[in-house]
Amino acid sequence: MTKAKALIVPVTPFQQNCTLLWCETTSRAVVIDPGGDLPRIEDAIAQSRVTVDKIWLTHGHVDHVGAAADLKAKLKVPIEGPHRADLFLLQHVETAASFGIENASNVTPDRWLEEKDQVQVGELTFDVLHCPGHSPGSIVYFSPAQRLAIVGDVLFAGSIGRSDLPGGNHRQLLNSIRDKLLPMGDDVAIISGHGPTSTIGRERASNPFLRSGL
Ligand SMILES: [Zn+2]
Ligand SMILES: [Zn+2]
């Protein structure tokens, strides 16, 4: 079976985990959440000797999407995701430049994603899970075969996403984690938008936000 490989590149002052993800068999890749620091992302692509076919976005916050339009222009590849409910964020990326991210651009995806959609890179297939709460259009990319999920700012090692930003909702976020993430299975590895990687099992057992009851 073909394997997924991932290289995490922390970008922007928010240390956002831009993830270069590729199919080992074909060396076809996606860049997930290119928030900024484009030269570092381009270095990672060159070092990995992969061909980028697409850009995937988990949600519309500036630290995740700030360099998406520039990267698309350079690589001539389409942008997929997030869910359409984050349109209002993607249209106001430039006003968020005051958060210390330079050259952030508004961005329009080529394909909006919804629950039950599937996206592909090389021979890998990821299911799209709509997980609102951190932002209304947050999505998670989950490969049941690879036991791997890219969860954006929905769930972190030892924490969960903020829900005090525009369109955020704490109850909705907990429901997304309970109904969409925990059922993926304890052996599933997660790459979060910030901080270290983890697994669903580790978070189910030790994440204080999940222990207090969902
Ligand atoms: Zn966010
Ligand atoms: Zn973030």
Q: Are 196 and 177 in contact (CB under 8 A)?
A: no
Q: How far is the CA of 157 from the centre of ligand 2 (A)?
A: 14
CA 210 to chain centre: 21
Rounded distance from Cα 8 to ligand 1 centre (Å): 17
Rounded to an integer, what distance in angstroms lies between the CA atom of residue 111 and that of residue 78? 8
Calculate how far, in angstroms, residue 65's C-alpha sits from the geometric centre of ligand 1. 10
Distance 89 CA to ligand 2 centre (A): 13
Cα(67) to ligand 1 centroid in Å equals 15
Contacts of 84 (CB under 8 A, 6+ apart): 112, 114, 137
What distance in angstroms lies between residue 192's CA and the mean position of ligand 1's atoms?
10
Dist. CA 32 → ligand 2 center (Å):
12
Query: What's the first-to-final CA gap in the chain, in angstroms?
Result: 36
Angle at 162 between CA 160 and CA 163, to 5 degrees: 115
Would you say 136 and 85 are in contact if contact means Cβ atoms under 8 Å apart? Answer: yes
pLDDT score for 98: 58
CA of 211 to the centre of ligand 2 (A): 23
């998406």: which residue's tokens? 68
Separation of CA 122 and ligand 2 centre (Å): 27
Taking the CA atoms of residue 78, residue 104, residue 133 and residue 10 in that order, the dihedral angle to the nearest 10 degrees is 90
Neighbouring C-beta atoms of residue 99, cutoff 10 Å: 14
123 CA from centroid of ligand 2 (Å): 28
Separation CA 61–CA 92 (nearest Å): 9
User: Which ligand places an atom closest to the C-alpha of 11?
Assistant: 2
Ligand sitting nearest the alpha carbon of 164: 1
* Dist. CA 14 → ligand 1 center (Å): 10
pLDDT tens string for the chain (214 positions)?
Answer: 889 999 999 999 999 999 999 999 999 999 999 999 999 999 999 999 999 999 999 999 999 999 999 999 999 999 999 999 999 999 999 886 656 777 899 999 999 999 999 999 999 999 999 999 999 999 999 999 999 999 999 999 999 999 999 999 999 999 999 999 999 999 999 999 999 999 999 999 999 999 876 7
Would you call 208 exposed, middle or buried from its count of C-beta atoms within 10 A (0-12, 13-18, 19+)?
exposed
Residue 23: how many other CB atoms lie within 10 Å: 21
Query: Could you give the C-alpha distances from 44 to 14, 41, 64, in angstroms and in order?
Result: 19, 5, 17
